[in-house]
Amino acid sequence: MTNYRNVSIGGRVFRVRAGDVLLDGALANGVEIPHDCRAGTCGTCMVQIVKGQTVCGETRTEGMIHACQARVVSDVEVELEEVPEIETTRARLSGLRELAPGILELQIAPEKGISYLPGQYFRFAFNGFPARAYSPTASFDGQIGGQFISLNVKRIRGGRVSSCLGTTIRPGHRLRMQGPFGRAFLRPGGRGRLILAGSGTGFAPIWAIARMALNEYRDRPIVVVAGARRLSALYMTPALVLLARLPNVTVIPTIEEGPCPPEVRIGRIEAHMPPLDAFDTVYACGSPRMVDAVAGCADSAGATFYADPFEPAGPEETAGFLAKIKMLCGRSNNAGAKVMA
């Protein structure tokens, strides 16, 4: 005789077989849990286990699990964080300019208003091209939202999408956008210190989080550690200058190699992280290597940690995507792994 377990989500109670995947059981019973990759990497399906027990799908945050990986082994009560609904809408590319060698700013004009939280991401599918995931950001004058969505995109050699920006894909190009996804977003109401680490175009969600946090509480203490491989790729200097003018914000620009002015530090981001404590909230967005290193710093201090690792796709889109998802499986941070090129 098959053993069944009761699952409670938002007041809805349903039964699943012992050992069933939580996400599959919920969807089969008409209960929607937001999800994206189904590989335990993007973080979109993260939920809080209030009562009961699951196995697999654990994250760095106690009690939080990836519903797409967790298997139900007892009666459980699950709590969902309230997030904007995932939708698909049409849009067009309204503007494109180069911020630094190989770094582009895209202005996207959706056909209708969309809702998202700073740090979340969307999948953008330009007509005739595969979908890619990018995080909306603030403009360099600090504006968030409005009728346009700003993106920072790195041009990847051989990338199916990014290498065509400015040539085949030009202003006026039509696209579809789906989202928002991800759990590495700013939680409203916080007043504790924020530590924001962003490498390369991982600065895009970090900048959006910083601006919204300051809009909510102008005096909130924030430390921003922004990095690039070399000085020419430190494209976010205008935003860093804006932040550095505020007395409650500490800005630490870093590069990994080459000459630099005295205000820029040499070395990887994790080498220049401030001392952390359990009251800090840490966000890390960018290369998976950097995200893992900063996660280690946060774990050691007992700090709350959210992450969004960026994975570039190669010319072989499908094979590259699957290989990278398999490589990332088993990571258990509050991640939003994105494949982008």
Note down pLDDT in tens along the chain; length 341 residues: 469 999 999 889 999 999 999 999 999 998 888 888 888 778 888 888 999 999 998 887 778 889 999 999 999 999 988 889 999 999 999 999 999 999 999 999 999 989 999 999 999 999 999 999 999 999 887 666 668 999 999 999 899 999 999 999 999 999 999 999 999 999 988 899 999 999 999 999 999 999 999 999 999 999 999 999 999 999 999 999 999 999 999 999 999 998 889 999 999 999 999 999 999 999 999 999 999 999 999 999 999 999 988 876 644 443 333 333 333 333 334 555 565 67
Same domain, yes or no: 67 and 11: yes
Boundary-marking domain end, from 181, 206, 224: 181
Same domain, yes or no: 330 and 235: yes
- List the structure tokens of 27: 């969807």
The residue written with tokens 């991982």 in the block is 202
Q: Which domain holds residue 11?
A: 4-79
Domain count, the chain: 3
Position 189 in a domain = no
Boundary-marking domain end, from 126, 154, 181: 181
Distance CA 202, CA 314 (A): 18
Same domain, yes or no: 210 and 308: yes
321 CA to centre of own chain: 17
Boundary-marking domain end, from 34, 51, 79: 79
Same domain, yes or no: 137 and 203: no
Q: Go through the chain and tell me how many residues it has.
A: 341
CB 325 within 8 A of CB 296: no
- CATH at residue 332: 3.40.50.80
Same domain, yes or no: 108 and 232: no
- CATH at residue 62: 3.10.20.30
The residue written with tokens 């080459």 in the block is 258
pTM: 0.86
Between the alpha carbon of residue 165 and those of residues 6, 79, 199, 216, 233, the distances in Å are 50, 41, 21, 35, 18
Same domain, yes or no: 123 and 256: no
Question: Which is nearest to 52 in space by CA: 80, 81, 76?
Answer: 76
Question: Which is nearest to 149 in space by CA: 186, 184, 178?
Answer: 178
Say whether 288 sits in a helix, a strand or coil.
helix
Same domain, yes or no: 61 and 154: no
